[in-house]
Amino acid sequence: MVDVIHDPAAMRDRVRRSRVAGRRVGFVPTMGALHAGHASLVDRAAAECDDVVVSIFVNPAQFAPHEDFNRYPRTLAADCHLLETHRATWVYAPEVAAVYPPDDATTVTVAGPAAGFEGTIRPGHFTGVATVVCKLLLAVPADVAYFGAKDWQQTLVVKRMVRDLGLPVTIAVCPTVRDADGLALSSRNAYLSVAERQRAVALAEALALAATMWDAGAAVAAIETAMRAALDHRGLAVDYAAVVDAESLGPIVEAAPAVALVAGRLGTTRLIDNRELPPRGGGRRAC
């Protein structure tokens, strides 16, 4: 049985004792409703570390009042069951009041990579993310914390926060796990009707198109137009479809990796995805 810990001080104590004993500790922060994407992070952590902590905490601070905090799936028993088969040592499942005391007055705001895209569509979201990740890292002072490339902009925000605050943890970014048709696994996929699930493949289709056009040397504006059309074609309401520099999320930089970012809505469900694009070399200007 995986050991579930609710108290931050008890969690910190376990991790510290483990590290003092010379054990390497890995940490996988999640909001639960675990799927094979989360499991891949746990597997990577288990392969690289002696002990693995998986946090399960639906973080109210990263949801706007009109978003899906209340209906977000909460499946702790099933999550623990899944983690039994993935060599997690501890589940950290704090109460909201333990993370956010009633008179809580402190937040962590990251500028730079938090601007634009999710930061524009979901104002305050990344402050909620950075604040909770900071608090979680204090309760789980691990050697390495594992995040999914699925949430590309989030990985940039977390890496910048860790660098700027000098937090003593290494951030590892792991590949996106997908269904057979290319749809990135997400806890929010559970909201989709059967018809919406079929149309959700549009995100992967748009990204595949972007990769093909990128490899063929197409201009960024043409790629973005084509991605938007692919999303429109399946009836997604597009929030953004962009090709940007993978680190700054600004304009493409010659010979540097890029990333295609897409976000859209199917009914009441919002989905995001991305695909890394290799550097363009040979003196060819991308835009």
| Residues designated catalytic | 38
Select 151 or 205, whichever has its Cβ closest to ligand AMP: 151
Which residues ranging from 65 to 104 are in contact with ligand AMP (CB under 6 A)?
A: none
- Look at the block and give the residue holding tokens 């996929």: 189
Contact with ligand AMP (CB under 6 A) among 37, 119, 128, 141: 37
Q: Is 150 exposed, middle or buried (0-12, 13-18, 19+ CB in 10 A)?
A: buried
Strand partners, 274: 261
Residues 99-128 that bind ligand AMP (CB under 6 A): none
Size, binding site for ligand AMP by CB under 6 A:
17
Catalogue the E-assigned strands of 57-118: 90-92
3-class state of residue 237 by DSSP: strand
Token representation of residue 269: 């469900």
Give every CB contact of residue 198 below 8 A, 6+ residues apart in sequence: none
Smallest distance, ligand AMP to C-beta of residue 286, A = 27
Q: Considering beta carbons, is residue 18 or 274 the nearer one to ligand AMP?
A: 274
Our finding on whether 38 is near ligand AMP (CB under 6 A) is: yes
Out of 151, 196, 224, 239, name the contact with ligand AMP by CB under 6 A. Answer: 151
Q: Which is nearer to ligand AMP, 30 or 269 (CB)?
A: 30
What phi and psi values does residue 138 have, to the nearest 5 degrees?
Answer: -75, -35
Minimum separation from the CB atom of position 200 to ligand AMP (A): 13
CB neighbour list of residue 46: distance below 8 Å, 6 or more residues apart: 26, 52, 86, 87, 88
- Residue with Cβ nearer ligand AMP (18 or 55): 55
String of contacts with ligand AMP for each residue 160-189, x by CB under 6 A: --------------x-xx------xxxx--
**What minimum distance in Å lies between the beta carbon of 264 and ligand AMP?**
17
Selection from 137, 145, 162 nearest residue 12 by Cα: 137
Strands 144-148 and 25-30, bridge-based pairing? parallel
Output 157 or 218, the one with its CB closest to ligand AMP. Answer: 157
Task: Give the whole-angstrom CA distance, residue 247 versus residue 281.
Answer: 17
Interface ranges with ligand AMP (CB under 6 A): 30-31, 37-38, 40-41, 147-148, 150-151, 174, 176-177, 184-187
